[in-house]
C-alpha cells in the first residue's frame, strides 16, 4: 500500500468523533504490525495514542520524532469521508490536515524500519541505500495522537506524553501542511473572551435601549485597529485577529444587554502579550473575562537538524525546503516547551478545515522521500547537534 492508497483509507474514517478515532487507531496499529513494526496503543481520555520506535536502543544514538494526528475538525458532511481523486488532487476531510502527511509518514517509517534497499512506488528519486544502512545510527519514534484539533489545550495527548518523558528526543517533525516548506516559527496565541454590556429594552423600541451586540461589533472593530495590530517581525508582516465567536441576546423581542466575544489573536515573535491585553482592556465597554496564552514557536534556521531536513527536502522538487513562519499554532510547541527542537513540515494542498480540502498526491511521494532521506542523513551530522551555529558538513570543532 503506497501513500496515496493509505491516505484514501484514512480519509474514510470519520475521525471527528470518538468511535471513528478508535476505529482509525485500530487500523493504523494493524497496518504497522502487518509490516512487522510493534505499535503500543495507549489510552488518553478514551481515545487511542499510538507509539512506535525503530532503530538501535543504545546510548548516544540521536532520536528523531515523527508526530502526526488522526483527528479532524467537526461539522463535516458524510460525503467528505469518501476520498475523491481528481488528477493530482485527493479530496476529503483531513486529506491535507493531516491524513495525507500521516500516511506518507507511516510509509517512510516503514521504509526505515525494514531498510528498503530500493525505492518503492512514488520514490524514484530516493538515493539508493543498502538495506543494512537502515537505522544503525539513528532512532525514530512515531507518535500518532487523536486530539490535536481539540480546544482542550494543555490536556491534549502530545502535551501529556511529552511532559511524562515518553516523547524525548533530539528533534521532532510534526506533519502539519506546509507546502513542503519547513516551519521554523509559529505565531503566539492570545485568546480573549470578553463581555460587552448594554441596556435592555423592548424590541419594538430599540432606541430606548443600548444594544450590546451592536456595541460588541464596534468594540471588535476598534481592537482590529489597535497599535499592536500593525506590528511586524522578521517572518510576519502582522499578527492575525479573528472574531471566533459572538453570543448575545435572550429573545427576539428584546434589546440585548450583554454580548460575549471570543477573539483569537495570533501575535508575532517579539510582541508582548501583556501589552496586547492592556490595549484591549482600554477599549471602552470591554470587560475581559478569560485569557488563554501560548508563546510563539521559534527554532533556529542554523539548527543542524533543520539544515539536514532542508537538504533532504530540496532535492525532491523545486522551491521546497524553504524555512518559513507559520500562522497557526500546532503541537510543535509542546516539544519546544520541553527543550526539543521541533518544526512543522508537511505536503502541499489546500482547503483544510473546509468542504473542498485536498492534498497533492505527488507531494505525498515527495514528502515520504524527504523524510527517509532526512533520517538516513542524520548519523552523518548528529555529532554536531550540540553546535547549532556549525553548518552541516563542517568540522564541529571549528
Question: For the segment 42-59, what is each residue's pLDDT rounded down to a tens digit?
Answer: 999 999 999 999 999 888
Higher model confidence: residue 283 or residue 317?
283
Sign of CA dihedral 163, 165, 166, 168: positive
- Tell me if 54 sits within 8 A of 63, measured CB to CB: no
Q: Is the pLDDT of residue 381 over 60?
A: no
- pLDDT per residue as tens digits for the range 207-222: 999 999 999 999 999 9
Sole residue written with cell 470591554: 286
Q: Identify the band that residue 395 occupies on the pLDDT scale cut at 50, 70 and 90.
A: very low
Does 318 score more than 80 pLDDT? no
Size (the chain), residues: 398
Asked if residue 131 has pLDDT above 80, the reply is no
**Average of per-residue pLDDT across 50-71:** 94
Q: Grade residue 328 by pLDDT with cuts at 50, 70 and 90.
A: confident
Q: What is the pLDDT of residue 152?
A: 76
Q: Give residue 128's pLDDT.
A: 39
Print the SS3 string covering the chain.
CCHHHHHHHHHCCCCCCHHHHHHHHHHHHHHHHHCCCCCEEEEECCEEEEEEEECCCCCCCCEEEEEEECCCCCCCCHHHHCCEEECCEEECCCHHHHHHHHHHHHHHHHHHHHCCCCCCCCCCCCCCCCHHHCCCCCEEEEEEECCCCCCCCCCCHHHHHHHCCCCCCCEEEECCCCCCCEEEEECEEEEEEEEEECECEECCCHHHCECHHHHHHHHHHHHHCCHHHHCCCCCCCCCEEEEEEEEECCCCCEECCEEEEEEEEEECCCCCHHHHHHHHHCCCCEEEEEEEEECCEECCCCCHHHHHHHHHHHCCCCCCCCEEEECCCCCHHHHHHCCCCEEEECCCEECCCCCCCEEEHHHHHHHHHHHHHHHHHHHHCHHHCCCCCCCCCCCCCC
Q: Which of 132-141, 245-254, 319-328 has the highest mean pLDDT?
A: 245-254
- Which residues partner with 182 through β-bridges? 323, 345
Fold of 188-294: Alpha-Beta Plaits (3.30.70)
Could you give the CA distance from residue 208 to residue 211 in angstroms, rounded to a whole number?
A: 10
Residue 21 in contact with residue 15, Cβ under 8 Å? yes
Other beta carbons within 10 angstroms of residue 319's beta carbon come to 9
C-alpha dihedral over 300, 305, 306, 308, to 10 degrees? 140
In words, the CATH class of domain 3-186+297-384 is alpha beta
- Which residues face 247 on adjacent strands? 260
| Matching fold, domains 3-186+297-384 and 188-294 | no
The domain locations on the chain are 3-186+297-384, 188-294
Residue 123 has pLDDT above 90, yes or no: no
Residue in the structure block whose three cell numbers are 505499535: 39
| 319 has a pLDDT exceeding 80 | no
Closest CA to 299 of 172, 194, 147: 172
Identify which of 3, 52, 50, 44 has the alpha carbon closest to the alpha carbon of residue 25: 50
* Average pLDDT over all residues of the chain: 88
pLDDT at position 397: 31
User: Scanning the structure block, which residue is given the C-alpha cell 513494526?
Assistant: 37
pLDDT at 107: 97
Tell me what pLDDT residue 287 has: 96
| Contact between 74 and 150 (Cβ < 8 Å) | no
End-to-end CA distance of the chain: 46
Indicate whether 94 pLDDT > 90: yes
The percent of residues in the chain predicted with pLDDT above 90, rounded, is: 74
Whether residue 265 is predicted with pLDDT greater than 80 in this model: the reply is yes
Nearest alpha carbon to residue 122 among 4, 32, 8: 4
What pLDDT, in 10s, does the model give residues 331-380? 788 999 999 999 999 999 998 888 899 999 999 999 999 999 999 998 76
Residues with Cβ within 8 Å of 273's Cβ and at least 6 positions away in sequence, in order, are 188, 190, 267, 293
Summarised one tens digit per residue, pLDDT across range 169-196 is 999 999 999 999 999 998 999 999 999 9
pLDDT class of 1 with cuts at 50, 70, 90: low
Q: 316: pLDDT confidence band, cut at 50, 70 and 90? A: confident
Least confidently predicted of 12-26, 36-50, 73-87, 249-263? 73-87
Among 239, 369, 381, 379, which residue's Cα sits nearest to residue 312? 369
Amino acid at each position: 500500500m503506497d501513500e496515496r492508497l493509505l491516505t484514501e483509507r484514512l480519509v474514510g474514517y470519520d475521525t471527528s468523533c470518538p468511535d471513528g478515532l478508535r476505529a482509525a487507531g485500530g487500523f493504523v496499529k494493524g497496518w504497522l504490525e502487518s509490516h512487522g513494526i510493534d505499535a503500543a496503543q495507549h489510552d488518553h481520555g478514551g481515545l487511542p495514542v499510538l507509539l512506535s520506535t525503530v532503530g538501535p536502543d543504545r546510548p548516544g544514538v540521536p532520536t528523531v520524532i515523527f508526530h502526526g494526528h488522526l483527528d479532524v475538525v467537526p461539522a463535516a458532511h458524510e460525503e467528505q469521508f469518501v476520498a475523491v481523486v481528481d488528477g493530482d488532487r485527493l479530496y476529503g476531510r483531513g486529506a491535507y490536515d493531516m491524513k495525507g502527511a500521516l500516511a506518507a509518514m507511516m510509509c517512510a517509517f516503514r521504509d526505515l524500519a525494514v531498510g528498503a534497499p530500493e525505492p518503492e512506488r512514488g520514490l524514484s528519486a530516493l538515493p539508493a541505500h543498502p538495506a543494512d544502512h537502515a537505522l544503525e545510527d539513528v532512532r525514530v519514534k512515531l507518535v500518532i495522537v487523536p486530539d490535536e484539533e481539540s480546544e482542550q489545550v494543555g490536556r491534549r495527548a502530545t502535551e501529556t506524553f511529552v511532559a511524562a518523558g515518553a516523547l524525548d528526543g533530539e528533534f521532532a517533525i510534526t506533519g502539519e501542511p506546509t507546502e513542503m516548506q519547513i516551519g521554523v516559527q509559529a505565531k503566539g496565541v492570545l485568546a480573549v473572551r470578553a463581555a460587552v454590556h448594554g441596556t435592555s429594552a423592548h424590541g419594538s423600541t430599540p432606541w430606548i435601549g443600548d444594544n450590546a451586540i451592536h456595541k460588541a461589533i464596534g468594540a471588535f472593530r476598534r481592537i482590529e485597529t489597535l497599535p499592536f495590530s500593525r506590528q511586524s517581525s522578521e517572518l510576519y508582516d502582522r499578527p492575525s485577529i479573528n472574531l471566533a465567536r459572538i453570543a448575545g441576546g435572550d429573545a427576539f423581542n428584546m434589546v440585548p444587554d450583554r454580548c460575549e466575544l471570543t477573539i483569537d489573536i495570533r501575535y508575532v515573535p517579539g510582541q508582548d502579550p501583556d501589552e496586547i491585553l492592556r490595549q484591549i482592556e482600554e477599549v471602552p465597554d470591554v470587560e475581559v473575562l478569560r485569557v488563554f496564552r501560548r508563546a510563539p514557536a521559534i527554532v533556529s534556521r542554523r539548527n543542524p537538524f533543520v539544515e539536514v531536513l532542508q537538504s533532504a527536502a530540496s532535492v525532491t522538487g523545486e522551491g521546497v525546503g524553504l524555512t518559513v513562519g507559520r500562522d497557526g499554532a500546532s503541537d510543535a510547541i509542546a516539544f519546544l516547551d520541553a527543550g526539543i527542537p521541533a518544526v512543522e513540515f508537511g505536503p502541499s494542498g489546500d482547503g483544510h478545515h473546509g468542504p473542498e480540502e485536498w492534498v497533492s498526491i505527488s507531494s505525498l511521494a515527495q514528502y515520504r522521500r524527504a523524510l527517509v532521506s532526512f533520517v538516513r542523513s542524520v548519523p552523518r551530522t548528529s555529532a554536531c547537534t550540540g553546535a547549532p551555529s556549525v553548518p552541516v558538513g563542517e568540522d564541529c570543532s571549528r
